[in-house]
Amino acid sequence: MIGEAKLIASLTIGQDHEINFVEIEEEAGPPNVLVSETHRPSSLSALEQLTELARQGVTAHDVFYAMSERGTEVPERIALLEQGLTGVAQGWGLRRLKKLGNQEVSNAGANANACTNSTFTASTYGGILPNNASWLDRHPSEEYDQYLYSYQDGILQHVYSPRVAFTLSRYNIRQYRGKVCFETIEGAGLPVHGYSDNNNVWHNLNPQVSFLYRRPNNNGWHSAASMTVPVGQTQAMEWAWFGWNNELWDWRVSASRAHPQDYIDYMRSYLE
């Protein structure tokens, strides 16, 4: 059903990488799947290293097959998808990564605003499509009023806190690749990301970055992938939607719960 994105598989690689497979609209027949990866920006994206996964005709089944240990059962929904890569053994991607070892991206997150620009724009998981653009070293700047809620002795208390957001949308798209890197900054004299409720109890409210979708001309947006970025940390997320029956969809990246000192890098490529 529209708006009921469902996580159908998840793969964890070491301590740095998580790959999720989300069916964005459950219907009969093969699933419409978006694949996303979250990782530390100082570590290489696992999926970007597997250039074979950028070929035309590759599906989410190929991604799961490449990144799962030999003998791992392919989830029922993903198994309905055809494989675009033939003649490869299960886990070939994992074995490739082990040969690469623990390579790290220099200066990512530590001495750069969000991720290092040259590294960030070098590639996109799933390949760079004909239309592409980047927004680098940006600050979230869309002001909005956020009312935070906390129950005190059974009574709902409202705590007002101004925040800023970052939002970019693209409409009527047949395929989409994207990546985002977000750095949460807090220090002396800067706005804090958490808040104290009416009883002076502290609550963390870390920024959240989401990749959203909808059918064209629909009102509501629905989350296909998201990550939370704790204070003082930098996190990266990338995704690939390989298209579905030549249908058009709207896509949006949204960072919320942010403050003006935070940084965001965003890169997208798409096929209209």
Q: What is the pLDDT of residues 63-78, one digit of tens each?
A: 999 999 999 999 999 9
pLDDT number for residue 260 = 95
pLDDT number for residue 106 = 44
Tell me the C-alpha distance between 3 and 116, whole Å. 34
Residue segments in the chain with a per-residue pLDDT below the cut of 50: 1-2, 105-111
Q: How many CA atoms lie within 13 A of 258 on its CB side?
A: 27
> Where are the chain's structural domains?
2-271
The answer to whether 237 and 209 have CB atoms below 8 angstroms apart is yes
Helix (H, G, I), strand (E, B) or coil at 170: strand
State the amino acid at position 19 in one-letter form: I
Tell me the C-alpha distance between 122 and 14, whole Å. 24
pLDDT number for residue 85 = 86
Helix (H, G, I), strand (E, B) or coil at 98: helix
State the amino acid at position 128 in one-letter form: I
pLDDT number for residue 100 = 73
Paired with 146 in beta bridges are 161
pLDDT number for residue 31 = 81
Distance of CA 30 to the CA centre of its chain: 23
State the amino acid at position 210 in one-letter form: S
Paired with 86 in beta bridges are none
Take residue 196 and report the two structure tokens written for it: 């104290």
Take residue 192 and report the two structure tokens written for it: 């804090």
